[in-house]
Copies of this chain bind each other. A is one copy, B any other.
Amino acid sequence: MSEVYAARRARLRDQCTAGGSAAAVVSRPANVRYLAGAAPRGSALLLGPRLDLLLCRSLPTGEPDEGRPDESLQVQVLSAAGGDAAVAAADLAAGQGADSLAVEEHHLTVARHRALTSVAPRLRLADLSCAVEQLRLVKDDEEISCLRIAAEIADQALGELLESILVGRTERHLALELERRLVDHGADGPAFPTSVGTGVNSGRGTHRPTDRRVEEGDFLSVCLGAAYRGYRSEIGRTFVIGTTPADWQIELYDLVFAAQRAGREALAPGAEYREVDRAARSVLDAAGYTDGLAPLTGHGVGLEIAEDPQLAPGAMGKLDACVPVTVEPGVHLPGRGGVRIDDTLVVRPEADGGPELLTITTKELLAL
């Protein structure tokens, strides 16, 4: 793995040099982890003119949720309690003779940026912008394999839940049980707070579980994901509780299913982000559900649960092969409930069989 991290850093360094910066400080945790193998709390990575260095507040533990630092990388523990790793990195960059330093202006606060300036007043600060996020877009085999395992864990947790009695249990308890099962099956932890919505709460994009209990006749929407070696999957399904779904439930389900399939089928290398969004959105639009739709049809996943690209009407850019994304349209009818169906897939060329579905739990409408 060490060569992988070194290669990533070399690519970033080339970009920095081309941009006129002799050194860079990476502070955004997912970016630090991508380049260094680990991102202990409060750490920063210096790509120095002479030496790369991971600066931490305490020695990395190597726990799965934190990662294990690349062995070829020197680690330095900050001596001052509460010291700022990015500020210390700027100081070291100046000490290594750098005259310019690229920083992540979309991550550093104004106050930290000022502290960097004041420890190294002769250093010209530039904006690294989202250079590391750009590198992170296309995943390598190792990353996709982590995502595949993360998706499998979530499938297992969800599958077990479906075998249990659901009526009478609260959204909160179902969410907690799913999270326990994720860990049972080897997740570092949940990829994001598990969402369970039943009845009137079903079908909402980012519903936080409440004390509402599952009742006969409810739609039940579940959205969960596992983090595995830092990589985060996402799956969302909607079920109906009881023996026979109502007609409106079947209709709404079929509609969202058709929208989600259209989105999945639009995934291909070279497809525009907004075309994928449009493929799914237009199905819901045509049925009159224009208002209240979520602003995104899907998003990238990786070391963060919602990373680039955004599959949205205004998004600019085209998909590449090996970009993992979610496709997650939904419709929520206020006061009644709704349906959301969410998969994680990897964009693949037609020749390789098209998009690879990572989350394989059935999308038939199950009556539980």
Residues of chain A touching chain B, judged by Cβ–Cβ distance below 8 Å, are: 41, 61, 63, 65-66, 81-82, 103, 105-114, 127, 172-173, 176, 179-180, 183, 206, 208, 210, 295-296, 310, 312, 314
Contacts and interface: CB of A to CB of B under 8 A. Distances in A.
Contact of A208 (B65, B106, B172, B173): B65
A113 B183 CA distance: 39
Nearest to A103: B110
29 contacts: A61-B208, A63-B208, A63-B210, A65-B208, A66-B208, A81-B295, A81-B296, A81-B312, A82-B295, A82-B310, A82-B312, A103-B110, A105-B114, A106-B109, A106-B110, A106-B112, A107-B109, A108-B110, A109-B110, A110-B110, A110-B127, A172-B183, A173-B180, A173-B183, A176-B176, A176-B179, A176-B180, A176-B183, A180-B180
Contacts of A179: 176
Given A63-B208, A295-B81, A312-B81, A108 B109 contact: yes
A66 B210 CA distance: 12
A210 B62 CA distance: 11
A334 to B, nearest CB: 11
Nearest to A312: B81
A196 B366 CA distance: 38
Contacts of A63: 208, 210
A81 to B, nearest CB: 3
A314 B308 CA distance: 42
Contacts of A66: 208
A112 B208 CA distance: 28
Given A65-B208, A103-B110, 4 more contacts: A63-B210, A81-B312, A82-B295, A105-B111
A208 B41 CA distance: 12
Contact of A111 (B82, B106, B176): B106
Contacts of A206: 41
Nearest to A83: B295
